[in-house]
Chain A
């Protein structure tokens, strides 16, 4: 593989943006096809890399590093101090997330056929968003990570604000402010670490922060109190993304107001950045603090799980049900992370990936449904199994995956997270299992409301044409992971081992 492989992978949607900007606004068909096509190079590249990795290719060879920015070259500093390199690096976890991103991006692009206006701008922003997401997972230094993270912020604002539903601007602002504050907190952490150690490279920082000898040589000292502060700040920063209750309000609005194809990416990938960040940065840099707060993480996770579940039970809009369901499911990520053992970690990461597929899958059908019925209100829907049997079947399958039915990815992740949690905090975990029941309760309530019962909206057609592609492929991924989870577990093994080593056991 080429030394530019990762850059190529991340920035290949740029080509699409450029080509799109040359096309006239009116050529709707061409724009749509180009939009989908433009996501393909990165999809192919990422799948290729994944395949290679499964066949034993050493993924660290893909690492790229080029010097880039240097803040201040004072003579008394080392050559590398206060430099930010353009450096990319992937491990198993990152690669899995990248594959998830590229797959969902392509499928969401396919699902974007329901977008009603200004396809050109839509796809350009969409591709920009993809670049940002891919970059976040591949960045191996904090500044670069932050840059890519912010790169997702702007396109999302426009995608929500322009192509969303009635309260789209409000939702866009909610998104902006909450995530802006989250990123702001993250920026503070990054700047503190950068200023005090002179480096922003995650691996170097981990070395400096965990190695007692290296700690002595920082530019400015990093006290224990500061570590706690930084850790909590990171928790808040990624807690907004994930989201952790009570920082979740924004994401409800986004789920409800953004166009479904965007929510596919949002729920599928963007929320996972929170989990990714918690693992990569919070756990990677502050293992000691992470250990001390692990019980609280489980508590937060259980709160998320139950809070989301109980609230989802009350919602009258299917999108809101799914939104709270996301809150609830992210609780499982937290529970898994807080367990601090292999099973929990693996469960958390599995949940991140699995929820990515499942949420995207369900939101794809929200889009399908809305396109036909112009509503997502539960009270106005019913008996879709009669008019749209296949779509209903898929929705039901999605709900089943979401509530953790074995044979789907949802089960594996939930199961592992709870195995981890029972090992760490049996009582909290036991409370958490209540969430498993509640998940079934609210999902069945909502889904049966839509698919079963008297048919309310007639004259709608079932899935057709291109819509089958996202539906089937997403379900396939969900089932593959559910039936043969090692396909995911093997790539993650080294990552989890590294994390566990960082925790000292």
Chain B
């Protein structure tokens, strides 16, 4: 008797929601970025869970999650770089202060 697939999926869903909510409400841009990473992690949990308990289980899911991780890392790196460039000019990492362009 093993842990059912739905348990993993619900866990991933919760993680995703936490990440999403954090990304939408946290003020510090770094945290926002890391929350996005959390969302991507939730995706990975899904993928890995499906690779074990899904239809036609196999290694593919794990592989997919590896790509995801890589891409996420690249994304966060670029995000941080942009943040640093912004910080140089604006001296802030608070995302709500970055609203010069609007309407």
| A–B contact, 8 Å CB criterion (strictly below) | no
